[in-house]
Amino acid sequence: MENRAYALAAGLFTLLLGIGVIATALWFSGNTVENDEYLLVSRYPVSGLNAQAPVRYRGVTVGKVVNINFDRQDSQAILVKILVQAGTPITQGAYAQLGSQGVTGLSYVMLDDDGKKPSPLTSENGELPRIPVRPSFFDSLSSSGQEMIVNFNQVAQRVNTLLSDDNQKQLVGTLHSLDRATSKFVSFTSAMEPTVKALPALIQDTGLALKRADILLSNINQRLDSFERAANSAEQLSHSGMALSDAMLTESVPRLNVLLEDVQRSSRGLERLLNEINEQPQSLIFGRNAAQPGPGEPGFGTQRGTK
């Protein structure tokens, strides 16, 4: 009986201990913090990222990765479901990148925000809010390295084409031609050396000639000014002559005509006077005889009968 009671007590103690351990484990593993769910959308490889990987927002651990699946509507996209502590300031400008944990090769999620869209990120149409995944530094470096290798291969192929046998022959011929051209240029330089030495004196003579030409131009300008003044004077004289000619035509000629008429009348009167003196010289002393009456005047018939 005692052995049975001991066994029963031991069994009950073991059972209670197991239940306590299980309850304690459930209590410690229980999620007592309220979390928000987000969906990361990546078009780049997520190597080293596993479920339960930590999620950090600007270096602060705020959640974990729940699962990783392919997008059924887009085979090029990878969907990573994460849990983030409630109250984490996730905005519409938030983005994710993958970081590496030391030398283990495991990755974690880094959340950051560029501040361009400060509005809070919320769900639409009942779906989880989506956060885009940008390439990490190593992804960018790997992509750049691949592009660099491709470019290097292209350069190598072009260099190989450039250094073909035919091109090498042409290159050697070009070098020989360049050598001959260089020799001719050296000879030409040696021949031009006396001309170059005489160039300063030629420049000085040219400067003197230019100064003399400047003086000559100044003298020509002075002569041209004098000629212009003379032309202006001649023009003024011509205008004066035209005015004088107009005055003579408008004033002097009519007066001259009147004067000529007066002279003619005086000449006719003088001629009559001379004729009378010639016919009756005594008229100078006794005066002119009375004129005989003409027809119709008194005494015209009496004088005729007397005779």
What is the residue range of 120's domain?
A: 32-136
Residue 145: which residues within 8 A CB-CB, separation 6 or more? Answer: none
What is the model's pLDDT at position 182?
85
DSSP string, 113-133: E-SS--SBP--STTPPPEEEB
What secondary structure letter does DSSP report for 128? P
Residue 239 located in a structural domain: no
Instruction: Sheet with 130-132: list strands edge to edge.
Output: 94-100, 107-113, 54-57, 60-70, 78-85, 35-42, 130-132
What is the model's pLDDT at position 305?
45
Residue 45 located in a structural domain: yes
Residue 73 located in a structural domain: yes
Burial of 213 (0-12, 13-18, 19+ CB in 10 A): exposed
What is the model's pLDDT at position 306?
45
What is the model's pLDDT at position 29?
62
Distances (CA, A) of 32 to 22, 27, 35, 66: 17, 9, 9, 17
* Count of domains observed in the chain: 1
Residue 70 located in a structural domain: yes
Residue 84 located in a structural domain: yes
Residue 191 located in a structural domain: no
Residue 168 located in a structural domain: no
Take residue 10 and report the two structure tokens written for it.
Answer: 């031991």
For every one of its 307 residues, what pLDDT tens digit does the chain have, with 9 covering 90 and above?
A: 556 676 777 777 788 888 888 877 766 665 566 888 999 999 988 888 899 999 999 889 999 999 999 988 888 899 999 999 988 889 999 999 998 887 777 889 999 988 888 888 888 787 889 999 988 776 666 666 667 787 878 887 777 777 777 777 787 888 888 888 888 777 777 777 777 677 677 677 777 777 777 787 787 777 677 767 766 776 676 666 666 566 656 666 667 677 777 777 777 767 776 766 666 665 555 556 666 666 766 666 654 444 4
Take residue 20 and report the two structure tokens written for it.
Answer: 């306590």
Residue 5 located in a structural domain: no
What is the model's pLDDT at position 266?
74
Q: Residue 135's closest CA among 144, 122, 147? A: 144
